[in-house]
Amino acid sequence: AHLVRISYPGRLRDSTPILKCISPCLQLLPLSRYLLCEIGVSEPASLQLLDERAVYTAVKAAVCRAHGDYGAALSSISFAVKYVNAHTGVVFLRCRKRYYRLIWSALAFITSLDSRGKKIPCFFNCLHVGGTIRTCQKFLIRYNTEQLHRMLPRCRNEAERLEVQKAVRSCSLKCTRREEEEEDEWDEDK
């Protein structure tokens, strides 16, 4: 434990310093950023071949090409693919707050993924950068709702229209006001 000297002049009668014990266990955890990305492909059937390893290796290779070995080493600290949805092409990437721009800028250089022995031509579209997975989920719900609202005028018949309206109503993520305030504090650190 480390001792820190704190004095409060004018507040205490004798203005004697107060020794406060600071435990090394109370150190701050490294802050992370979560990149919410959408993988665009020409053939929707090829999305089924996506897996975490393919996304991980493609992003690491792109960072290495764009920023060299030094950039690859910096960005590899706590870099992880947290979630891949093979049906929608949505991907969550986690990295250190300090180096998220390296990964973000390298996403533009990804042109294909090697998954299960097949080369899938694709591109990455970064939709949102957040401090927590929860804020990324909230953004994804808003984004999907907007996309569904855009689809509504393009419906050809009443059955399609009802299906889209049902999908819009089902988009929700319940949380308390306290959780929202805490997440807003995290996002202000950007």
Cα–Cα distance for residue pair 114/61, rounded to 1 Å: 11
Of 89, 86, 91, 82, nearest to 37 (Cα)? Answer: 91
pLDDT at 124: 95
DSSP letter, residue 25: G
Domain boundary among 88, 108, 130: 130
pTM of whole model > 0.95? Answer: no
Q: What are phi and psi of 97, to 5 degrees?
A: -60, -40
Residues 157 and 110 in one domain: no
Q: What are the pLDDT digits (tens) for 40-83?
A: 998 888 889 889 999 999 999 999 999 999 999 998 889 999 99
Determine the Cα angle at 51 with ends 45 and 55, to 5°: 105
Residues 83 and 103 in one domain: yes
Q: Which domain holds residue 148?
A: 133-190
pLDDT at 174: 53
pLDDT at 68: 94
Domain boundary among 130, 152, 167: 130
Residues 91 and 41 in one domain: yes
Tokens (6 digits) for 114: 């090697």
Q: What are the pLDDT digits (tens) for 64-74?
A: 999 999 999 99
Domain boundary among 130, 154, 171: 130
Cα–Cα distance for residue pair 75/111, rounded to 1 Å: 20
Q: Tell me, what CATH number does 96's domain have?
A: 3.30.70.3250
DSSP class per residue in 80-146: EEEEEETTTTEEEEEEEGGGHHHHHHHGGG--EEEETTEEEEEEEEEEEEESSHHHHHHHHHHHHHH
